[in-house]
Structure 1
Amino acid sequence: MPLRVLAVDDEPPALEDLTYLLCGDHRIGRVLAAGSSDAALRLLECEPVDAVFLDIRMPGLDGLDLMRVLRRFARPPAVVFVTAYEDFAVDAFALKACDYLLKPVGRERLAEAVQRVAELIGGGPPGTGGAPHTGRGADAADERIPVDLGGVTRFVSRDEVAYAEASGDYVRLHAAGRAPLVRVSLAVLEERWAPHGFLRIHRGYLVSLRHVEELRSDAGRWTVRVAGTELPVARRHTRELRDHLVRWAPASGDGPS
Structure 2
Amino acid sequence: MKGPIQALVVDDERFSREELIHLLKQHEAIQVIGEAESGDTAIMKVLQLQPDVLFLDVEMPRMDGMEVAKAVQELKKVPKIIFATAYPDFAVDAFRHDAIDYLLKPFDEEQLKDAVVKLEKRFAPQMDASQTTNQPPSKLAVEGEDNIHYLDPENIVYVYREERWTKIVGKTHTYETRAPLKEVEHRLRGFPFFRIHKSYLVNLDYVNRLTPWFNGAYQLELQSREEKLSVSRNYVKDLRKQLEL
Alignment TM-score, normalising by the size of structure 2: 0.72
Q: How much has 1:27 moved relative to structure 2?
A: 1.6
1:25 is the counterpart of 2:20: no
Q: How much has 1:58 moved relative to structure 2?
A: 1.1
1:225 is the counterpart of 2:222: yes
For 2:208, the aligned partner's letter is E
Corresponding residue of 2:89: 86
Corresponding residue of 1:57: 59
Higher relative contact order (CA 8 A, sep 6+): 1
1:207 is the counterpart of 2:202: yes
1:34 to 36, 55, 69: 36
> Percent of counterpart pairs with the same letter?
20
- CA change 1:103–1:194 in 2 (3 A) is closer
Q: Does structure 1 retain, via aligned residues, the 8 Å contact 2:69–2:81? A: yes
Corresponding residue of 1:148: 143
Q: Deviations over 1:111-163 (max 9, x none)?
A: 333233333334759xxxxxxxxx954xx442454333573445445565332
Q: Does structure 2 retain, via aligned residues, the 8 Å contact 1:51–1:77? A: yes
Q: Deviations over 1:172-211 (max 9, x none)?
A: 32457664322123355457768864334467642122x2
Give the CA RMSD over aligned residues.
3.8
> Please, which runs of 5 or more residues in structure 1 have no aligned partner?
126-134, 251-257
SS at structure 1 position matched to 2:232: helix
Q: Does structure 2 retain, via aligned residues, the 8 Å contact 1:15–1:33? A: yes
1:247 to 239, 242, 245: 242
- CA change 1:72–1:165 in 2 (3 A) is closer
Distance in 2 between residues matched to 1:191 and 1:34, nearest whole Å:
30
Corresponding residue of 2:115: 113
Corresponding residue of 1:129: none
SS at structure 2 position matched to 1:229: coil
Distance in 1 between residues matched to 2:126 and 2:152, nearest whole Å:
23
- CA change 1:222–1:73 in 2 (3 A) is closer
1:176-215 pair list within 5 angstroms: 179-186=174-181, 188-190=183-185, 197-201=192-196, 205-209=200-204, 211-215=205-209
Alignment TM-score, normalising by the size of structure 1: 0.69
